[in-house]
A = this chain, B = another copy of it.
Amino acid sequence: MANAIILIMDGVGDLPTPKTPLQAAKKPNLDKLAEDGITGLLSPVGRGVVPGSDTSHLAIFGYEPKICYPGRGPLEALGLGMELRKGDVAFRANFATMKGGVVVDRRAGRIDTASATAISDLVSMRIEDVDVIFKNSVEHRGALVLRGPGLSHSVSETDPHAEAALPECYATEASNEARKTARIVNRFSQEVQKRLSEAPENKTREKKGLPQANVVLLRGAGSFTTVPSFEERFGIRGACIAGGALYRGVAKFIGMDIFMVPGATGDKNTDLFAKGKAALKALETHDLVFVHVKACDSFGHDGDLRGKTKMIERIDKELMPLLLKSGACIVATGDHSTPCCRKEHSGHEVPILMYGPQERSDDVEKFDEVSCMAGGIGHITGKHVMPMMLNLMGKGKKFGS
């Protein structure tokens, strides 16, 4: 019986140009684990399927996203520490800038967090019998929750994804709940523009020549539901160490405990050493510690092959030695590929390695997309990860006698 760490490097999988970042990176620690452990290739959501980060993480932790994905909004809201109730409809929300009826900047000039916080109270309000609750996070980002009777997530988004008029929200199914929710969202869009345009903070920004944050764009609508907790499902306690709110949201959704780590920002300068130390701490009280590193994906989206390679090298140098020190079983993988040549998620498999003392080993000596093709794990999907990880830890429940 052993504890385990699962390291998920977001979007780490890639395509050869001619080497993938995992092939190009100097990563002696990950390669040593591949050599001593057993490797394979993982398609979190299904062979060839292009996963979102949220659906992929759910799948890896044994929650079939086709059944229990609540949408991005609720996961973001949970990740920001908002408490959700069954039936709440939540959205991913962005401060943005409107001029002459047109959304001219979808991020309000990447408004600084302090400035966004100064106006955030104005975004919460009550419309009809619905509480509209907003919380901002980093820069322009935040989440919005609608709480009240008879709501539905079947409504369109209000993010135009381009310089264009603010889209009207409409019901995407023929139900009173969806029509009501669309009506509330449209009243919110009007009211929030009115409130924000009068905010002193925005007057100050205007004087400084900064774009006003005078509207809030909504997308990723989802209805909050509950799922059986990670501990109920698997009989083990899980802890999450992640800079990005979405990942903490997934972890909270399934009942993991969240360890907040100062310096773990979810961006390219995240403090990997601090995350490693937090992982060791979390292992004292939890069976499984989920460590998430976001930046590989961000470099992939930017098409920055060199940046992605260096990020993998940083993980190997700054994070891996601490994880290895723990003596825990280690699983390392990604949630999907984000090939630099595509700048977006793809359905290509990601390498996975599993290491434990006295476990089986294969002939693979490198942790990358090509070497792991010959691995002893073969090709697996997300649903296989938890049973295999529990078995690695010696904590699988026997079925039958």
Is A72 interfacial (CB 8 A cutoff)? Answer: yes
Q: Tell me which residues across on chain B come within 8 A of A46, comparing CB atoms.
A: 384, 387
CB distance from A15 to the nearest CB of B (A): 5
CB distance from A244 to the nearest CB of B (A): 12
Is A55 interfacial (CB 8 A cutoff)? Answer: yes
Q: Tell me which residues across on chain B come within 8 A of A54, comparing CB atoms.
A: 400-401
Contact B346 A399 (CB under 8 A): no
Q: Tell me which residues across on chain B come within 8 A of A53, comparing CB atoms.
A: 400-401
Is A163 interfacial (CB 8 A cutoff)? Answer: no
Binary CB contact string for chain A from 65 to 77 against chain B (1 if under 8 A, 0 otherwise) = 1000100100000
Q: Tell me which residues across on chain B come within 8 A of A243, comparing CB atoms.
A: none
Q: Tell me which residues across on chain B come within 8 A of A342, comparing CB atoms.
A: 394
Q: Tell me which residues across on chain B come within 8 A of A377, comparing CB atoms.
A: 379
CB distance from A93 to the nearest CB of B (A): 14
Q: Interface majority SS on A: helix, strand, loop or mixed?
A: loop
Contact B391 A346 (CB under 8 A): yes
Given contacts A47-B387, A48-B389, A390-B48, contact A400 B65 (CB under 8 A): yes
Given contacts A345-B398, A384-B48, A399-B51, contact A370 B360 (CB under 8 A): yes
- Determine the residue in chain B with the shortest Cβ distance to A16: B360
Is A262 interfacial (CB 8 A cutoff)? Answer: no
- Determine the residue in chain B with the shortest Cβ distance to A246: B401
Given contacts A15-B360, A16-B360, A376-B370, contact A72 B401 (CB under 8 A): yes
CB distance from A126 to the nearest CB of B (A): 29
Is A52 interfacial (CB 8 A cutoff)? Answer: yes
Is A114 interfacial (CB 8 A cutoff)? Answer: no
What is the CA–CA distance of A307 and B288 in the complex, to the nearest angstrom? 35
CB distance from A54 to the nearest CB of B (A): 5
Q: Tell me which residues across on chain B come within 8 A of A17, comparing CB atoms.
A: 358
What is the CA–CA distance of A388 and B347 in the complex, to the nearest angstrom? 7
Binary CB contact string for chain A from 364 to 392 against chain B (1 if under 8 A, 0 otherwise) = 00000110011111111000101111110
Q: Tell me which residues across on chain B come within 8 A of A374, comparing CB atoms.
A: 374
CB distance from A68 to the nearest CB of B (A): 12
What is the CA–CA distance of A73 and B52 in the complex, to the nearest angstrom? 41
Is A186 interfacial (CB 8 A cutoff)? Answer: no
- Determine the residue in chain B with the shortest Cβ distance to A392: B48
Given contacts A50-B391, A387-B46, contact A376 B373 (CB under 8 A): yes
Contact A399 B362 (CB under 8 A): no
Contact B16 A49 (CB under 8 A): no
Chain A residues near B (Cβ < 8 Å): 15-17, 41, 45-56, 65, 69, 72, 220, 341-342, 344-348, 358-362, 369-370, 373-380, 384, 386-391, 394, 396-401
